[in-house]
Structure 1
Amino acid sequence: MTEGHEQTPATPGVLVDPLRNRGVAFTPEEREALGLTGRLPSGVLTLDRQAQRAYQQLRVQDSDLAKNVYLEQLHDRNETLYFKVLAELLPIVYDPTVGEAIEKYSHEYRRPRGLFLSVDRPDDMEKAFATLQLGPEDVDLIVCSDAEEILGIGDWGVGGIQISVGKLAVYTAAAGIDPRRVVAVSLDAGTDRTSLLQDPLYLGNRHPRVRGAEYDAFIEKYLETASSTFPDALLHFEDFGPSNARRILEQYGGRYRIFNDDMQGTGAITLAAALSAVKVSGVRMRDQKLLVFGAGTAGTAGVGNFLHAVTILADACTKMRECCIGGTELNQDQIDAYVDRSLMLVTALSPVIGYDKASVIAHKADDEDTTLRVAAMASGCISAEDFDRIVDPAAMVGRT
């Protein structure tokens, strides 16, 4: 033993590598070949038996958050077993429990997973990707989030890495994507949530969210670096704010292989459901009235894509009636008066946030005790009669 240096027992690498570790499922022959002789109990359990034990351990956890923590610890130890168990437990690993895990990320922090890229250090991106030690053909999918619009809970800063990790888990459990060929990324642009900035344990950038030219340069740097490092990978954008989500997709969609789940994924699924319903009802899409409930990215941009697609399919941009005021035209002053309300409308008027065929007006109520009807009346740009027609739609798309 070197003087001044205390030697500690070594742990075989395979047992600390979650991608290779199979725990007590290793056979005696495998244990010998991997240098694990004497490092595991003698018994050999099949994957099914290991899953049975994991379920038992999971059941004694006293809250959904505790179950989420247990599963992430399993994820860190043995990915094969984790994905075996995961199929029945997606609500614990992803929506809705992942929201609570994101809120408490800095307090429940255990093992880093993925890449953490900072708007304050954009020149570190190449070095960060290089630490993965993967070749250009080794990655199929990268999920990133700037965490501005996490699920229904808003801006949670660096905790958004959990939504990237959780989404990749869904990809593997539901679609069979190889977990060795994916990367989760946090794009830390700061946060506007005061409670995080004042939290001494918060692990992200301690400044308000960066916007404008500096933010745009950060995103472009990420796209350039990720695409040049892994040219065959799909770049999945998750839980960006509505304005940035649409702008990034429109600006870079023709240059990079990017996909926005909230916009394109939600829009495609909603469109498929609506078109199937139309076939059953026998009523043309252009004659349907749909109410979109929720003014986040999925509502304004994702379902907005769906409405745009419906318009094209129906070839009826001047007759749009989805979630509308029966064709009533509003002037720009009336639209501007609506900006801080929580009612969402689509009308057949001039473009708003990027649509030239169907305009989406999203609003946030500043008084939690004010009903949508009262807020709409107070805005002065819709009558009680028109509002009542809106809230009696053929279907409601819930995105809140």
Structure 2
Amino acid sequence: MRPNLIFIVADDLGFADLGCYGGRPADFGPVSPHIDALAAGGLRFTQGYANSPVCSPTRFALMTMRYQYRLRGGMEEPINSKSKGDPRLGLPPELPTLPSLLRDAGYATALIGKWHLGYPPAFGPLRSGYDEFYGIMAGGVDYFTHCSGKGDHDLFLGEEPHHETGYLTDLLSRRAVQHVQARAADAREGKPFFLSLHYTAPHWPWETRDDAEVAPSVAANLFHLSGGDIHTYRRMIHHMDEGIGQLVATLRDEGLLDNTLIVFTSDNGGERFSDNWPLVGGKMDLTEGGIRVPWIAHWPAAIPAGSVSAQHCMTMDWSATLLELGGGQAPAGHALDGVSLAAVLREPAQTFERPLYWRMNHRQQRALRKGPWKYLRVDANEYLFDLSRDERERANLAAHEPERFAAMRDEWLAWNDTVPAIPEDAAVSLGYSVRDMPQR
């Protein structure tokens, strides 16, 4: 029987924010006990990456299973409210997607949470393969008012505005639990479901469940540059973790947990309050802290508990994996860049070579990860790092390994010739960029 599929995506989560990735307990206790339990009962990847160090480009790759650079919207860093009405800046409805192909294969499909791939009427989840949608269209909203920085209401049920009182993380968790309960009978009868659960946590603004009284003032400045702290940030992760725990409990109660593949990750590296140790950099950077993220897979029927993998992978590989496991097929003319990890899930000790490429308009960044080596360019500066010995990217070996450096640079250039050039009018986000995270 094909598995039910749940793809959980956190927003701006740092590599070491979770306990299972070395994160320290908060003042209230463990930050992520339920996510940690998924890792303990399944498979944790140590060398997994996001397709981009910023949100919507990664989501283009997740949906299409291809490098985001193949689409005009995927070269925005990221899509913002200014793109409303621009027919170029979104996920084209006619394009095959992970949910549309799984729906064709017999899955019931739903997105609960963040879309961030263009605005109606040109774009939207229901136009790109999801049967149901509950969540936000934009990149971030206030957790209580559900409004964007311009004051626009941004909580939808389908394509209709939906007004509901509550802390957004809790609303998404509750809706996910209700969705599983509604689909459970069909799933037990052999009609599986695909649920995308895309949280906005722990993305700014920095608000916990207990901050309802301060929400109106925060909503006027969603970036909240003068607010927040590590304690608020960790509590936001904990609220998300509690919801995931409720979802897992519901799957168990419905008899579905054993044959449900749950994948958990982040859309990019951490923001200003994140813990990325031992990595440097963060969101908007192609240093490791901006792109290396947690990847956890839990599927008791197939994945050995307590497994760890050093397989190199990125977001679109996981989408290709879910497509294969769900029995979906990419149509002719839509060749995938993502590579399925299905064999690794069943035998975590095996690995295969997987070169990974990135390109970022912000600071003219380039990166290639191949084996233990990484080629990196930031502005006019170029680097070669041996990540097996130097995960903090401090020892530039370009002058000591000139042949390897030249070969990797040429390999990146050859790959870059296979994707469209970045247009001159592509927007660069004004988001926060962390060049170095605090050491501990």
Tell me the TM-score normalised to structure 1 length. Answer: 0.32
Structure showing greater Rg: 1
More helix by share: 1
Tell me the TM-score normalised to structure 2 length. Answer: 0.30
More strand by share: 2
